[in-house]
Homo-oligomer: A and B are copies of this chain.
Amino acid sequence: MSEASRPIAVLGGTGPAGMGIALRWARAGETIIIGSRDAQRAQDAADKIADQIANQVKEKTGNHTRISGMENSAACAAADILVLTVPFEGQGALLKQLKPALRPGSILIDATVALAAGVGGRASRTLGVWQGSAAQQAAELVPKGVSVVAAFHNLSADLLNGDEDLDCDVIVCSDDASAAHLTRSLAAKIPGVRAIDGGKLENARILEQITALLIGLNIRHKGHGGIRITGLPPQAYD
């Protein structure tokens, strides 16, 4: 099975961030499984994305959107590339629930940000996570042999759910170089996105903080903020 045809499960994928990423990858020809606590809700989200793509490409022939919806554990069991797009306050419980379904060799791409909004605070502030970041907490909760990658924190969900190219970079952090490489190749399938190797998973704490900064800028300036990294040689963007 080629890399591109391996299914990707977007867990907690009925929220705006998960839907947006699923939409962009489905459009790029990836096989997507939306995961949710509720299988019907997952299927409804998958149908909505499939319709959105079909409406856009109805003149084209030969397009077969491969997107389905399942309960989170079932989605997890059906894929070995997993993307976690849940609020921080749901991350730990979901990972504990998924543990029996997480196989060694799987890649868990974590986009979680510990926003203070999750405990009644502001979305422009973060909580301190003992391990250093939500992604490092995830790494502690998955079984041995599952590689955790931090990415996709800083993409606007609103823009992901639209049709325009994005104007953002995705910085990818992981202690597993090949999992990071695969994640960068997936990030680069989102039109307008450049993927950058951001080093070890411990650096995820900075990516997570940037989300809080962007949320603050969005509130203050009424925008859909993202970041571009400038000043690196072309080979840094792959």
- A: residues with CB less than 8 A from B are 124-125, 156, 159, 167-168, 171, 196-199, 202-203, 205-207, 209-210, 212-214, 216-218, 220-233, 235-236
Contact B198 A216 (CB under 8 A): yes
- Whole-angstrom distance between the Cβ of A38 and the nearest chain B Cβ: 32
Contact A168 B199 (CB under 8 A): no
Contact A228 B227 (CB under 8 A): yes
Contact B197 A220 (CB under 8 A): yes
Nearest neighbor of A232 in chain B, beta-carbon distance: B223
Main secondary structure of the interface of A (DSSP, over half): mixed
How far does the alpha carbon of A165 sit from the alpha carbon of B10 in the complex, in Å? Answer: 42
Q: Which residues of B have CB within 8 Å of A230?
A: 167-168, 225-228
Contact A198 B227 (CB under 8 A): no
Q: Which residues of B have CB within 8 Å of A199?
A: 124, 216-217, 220
How far does the alpha carbon of A221 sit from the alpha carbon of B220 in the complex, in Å? Answer: 33
Q: Which residues of B have CB within 8 Å of A196?
A: 217, 221
How far does the alpha carbon of A84 sit from the alpha carbon of B61 in the complex, in Å? Answer: 62
